[in-house]
Structure 1
Amino acid sequence: MKRWLPLFFLCLLAMTASAQITQDATKQLRIYEDDDFFNIWGRGTDRGYSNGSSIGYLYMKKKKSVFLDKWILPVAGPHAINVFEWDGMQIMITPNQIADTSYIPKDFYYAGALYATHGLTSYNPERKYSFHSEFVFGVLGPWAFAKETQTFFHNLIGYQPPRGWEYQVPNAPLINYNFTYEIMLWNPVDYLEIVGSANGKIGTMTTSASALTYIRAGLFNPYFGHRDLAVATKRRFQLYAMARPQFSMIGYNALLQGGIFRSRNSNFEELNNYQETHMRHWTIGMDYGIGIVINRASINYTQKTRTEWMSGTGKHSVGNITLLIPISRKTIPGD
């Protein structure tokens, strides 16, 4: 039955979408779903980074930022267009054989995380660059309820229940700060954009650095917006293909290594003594997909492929569906 789930979910979103972050919507709802069973080549799996579900609220405001917003969420100049957000997300990682009740030392740990994110995307339409900064706080381990979530949905769709969650990583706090810089590299015509990007993460969840290139071709509005609202939103229908090659260096990942309290958990440390795989510190990847925008709403499908995160586990591909729904008709915050 699970083989029909991606098709059903795509159809459901297509009916709901009527959806992208646009300058003529100051409040938006974002629904984001990663699942390795979503695969355009029909090669869905249920291992590694198995699932990530998120719901977010994006908004623009007139009031000046205070406290953390002011100090850790920088803006891209005095006339930048700023979109703030609050998100909640749960992710889970599992080994390949989830029906196995024994510990599997040659595969991923069972790991789940539940966290909230507060961030800002600030873009400068004149100089065509943007900052995205975010503060992450949450929990790792049984407190994240990943076992309960996966068991519930597998029972719901009649799929094999996961039986190895007793071996999951221990509880630990997750606190992270992530920052991304993007700049236009090449925009020779209206239907082609190439954007360069650098990303850094530091904290108890992930410490890493990445370099990316975002290539977009088709019918779309300017990636970094425009000071003139009419120009920024001139296309009411958008359709484009995208690709995002990337290279990452990972210093630390709590979900792959057990979290900051792993040494305090004797059961986990005992299991870890038998672990035969280890985290890869260098990965390369390619995202590719399509985006559709109708009026002020958008739906995007992206296939995300990466070289192996853990030695001996092989490359992995995860499908993503993102839906953005405007929930405000106001074009200027507070008006």
Structure 2
Amino acid sequence: MKNCLIFFLLLNISIPSSFGQRIDNLSSFRDVPTTQYLRFNYDNDLFVGTDQNYTQGFSLELVSPFLKKNPINYLFFKPKNTETRYGLAIEHNSFTPDRYFVPEIQLGDRPFSATLMLKSFVISTDTIKASRFTSSFIIGMIGQAALGEEIQVGIHKVTDSETPLGWPNQIQNDVVLNYGFGYEKQLVRFRDFFSIQANANGKVGTLFTNGSIGINATIGILNSPFSSIKSKNNFNFYVFAQPLINIIGYDATLQGGVFNRKSPYVISADGIERFTGQFNYGIVMRLKSFYFEYSGALVTREFKTGGSAKWGGIKIGVML
């Protein structure tokens, strides 16, 4: 645990503060052009000068042909005549209210909550129609078992920050089972310099039930994530932008678990904003087998007594 805390501290020091399930690894602008890679993601709202709402998240993902044998893959839709990649990721997310340093329940603000999950996923690319379909299945826990308190308190001790005292009021332990799917279609492409895509995504389960529609654009030195994996350049450098409209059905990080209804404090269904806007942006560099991304996100208020939120993140990957 001590080594992990030191690692997270170094991340916070090395990334300037000027810069989702919050972690997104399936959008085309985050494509890694190979059938086998390892990538680490770290999000933190400290990157953009806050410490509330979605306060931290990290994941480690592996894509490899041997994961084709994962029995969970039978749950996924894999269109014919597509190039399909198979992946597995472990993911952790933490959420806190604004005044995380007081022990009392913060009425009208977000409850403390944390999730720890294992995600299986597939990415199927149709190189003829310039489209891709993604599917994922998540199993895990929300609540004390996700170790949100231990991780955040430990980081704050190492960084000599105010100790979070409200974790005893967090969303209680419950099971996470979630199915996700996404579709993306390239609309415009100008050589290897500019592209626009339309995207739609949905999630159904005990953690999130929601949907989103939007577009994304990339500009710079590009590879097409909709072309054959074998025909890729060795260098990419580009920026991306993605506006989204989200439709919210259920959010266990606000409303509590589906099965365990004994959380000390939750946001009621009447208090949830059913429509939110989100804007993701960032910069990506890839040199041969190395991938680096620096990104940010803004989202409008997710519950009626709350406010907008923002966070930043990095992704570091390597082709295997």
- Which TM class, normalised by the smaller chain length? 0.7 to 0.9
Point out 4+ residue stretches in structure 1 off by more than 6 angstroms.
none
Give deviations 1:64-85, integer Å, cap 9, x for gaps: 6574313x2222323x221111
Structure 1 position 77 matched with structure 2 position 86: no
Alignment-derived partner of residue 283 in structure 1: 276
Count of residue pairs brought into register by the alignment: 300
Which amino acid is the alignment partner of residue 240 of structure 2? M
In the aligned structure 2, how far is the partner of 1:277 from the partner of 1:307?
17
Change (3 A) 1:87 1:308: same
Q: 1:272, CA displacement in angstroms?
A: 5.0
Give me the TM-score of the superposition, normalised by structure 1: 0.84
Alignment-derived partner of residue 244 in structure 1: 242
Please show how residues 1-335 of structure 1 align to structure 2 within 5 Å. 6-9=12-15, 21-23=31-33, 25-39=34-48, 44-61=49-66, 67-70=71-74, 72-78=75-81, 80-226=82-228, 229=230, 232-233=231-232, 235-263=233-261, 265=262, 268=264, 271=265, 278-327=271-320
Which amino acid is the alignment partner of residue 309 of structure 1? E
In the aligned structure 1, how far is the partner of 2:72 from the partner of 2:281?
34
Q: Which runs of 5+ in 2 are unaligned?
A: 1-7, 17-29
Contact 1:60 1:82 in 2 (8 A): no
Which amino acid is the alignment partner of residue 120 of structure 1? V
Identity percentage over the alignment?
25
In the aligned structure 1, how far is the partner of 2:131 from the partner of 2:99?
44
Give me the TM-score of the superposition, normalised by structure 2: 0.87
Change (3 A) 1:153 1:73: same
Which amino acid is the alignment partner of residue 271 of structure 2? H
In the aligned structure 2, how far is the partner of 1:170 from the partner of 1:312?
22
Contact 2:9 2:159 in 1 (8 A): no
In the aligned structure 1, how far is the partner of 2:192 from the partner of 2:11?
37
Q: 1:205, CA displacement in angstroms?
A: 0.7
Which amino acid is the alignment partner of residue 120 of structure 2? H
Alignment-derived partner of residue 27 in structure 2: none
Please tell me the root mean square deviation across aligned C-alpha atoms, in Å: 2.3
In the aligned structure 2, how far is the partner of 1:97 from the partner of 1:176?
30
In the aligned structure 1, how far is the partner of 2:269 from the partner of 2:128?
52
Contact 1:75 1:123 in 2 (8 A): no
In the aligned structure 1, how far is the partner of 2:134 from the partner of 2:15?
29
In the aligned structure 2, how far is the partner of 1:204 from the partner of 1:293?
36
In the aligned structure 2, how far is the partner of 1:276 from the partner of 1:105?
15
Higher relative contact order (CA 8 A, sep 6+): 1
Which amino acid is the alignment partner of residue 60 of structure 2? I
In the aligned structure 2, how far is the partner of 1:35 from the partner of 1:253?
20
Change (3 A) 1:73 1:261: closer
2:153 partner SS = helix
Q: 1:250, CA displacement in angstroms?
A: 0.6
Contact 1:22 1:296 in 2 (8 A): no
In the aligned structure 2, how far is the partner of 1:9 from the partner of 1:188?
33
Contact 1:106 1:276 in 2 (8 A): no
Q: 1:247, CA displacement in angstroms?
A: 0.3
Q: 1:262, CA displacement in angstroms?
A: 4.2
Change (3 A) 1:226 1:296: same
Q: Which runs of 5+ in 1 are unaligned?
A: 11-19, 328-335
Report the structure number with the largest CA radius of gyration.
1
Contact 1:21 1:324 in 2 (8 A): no
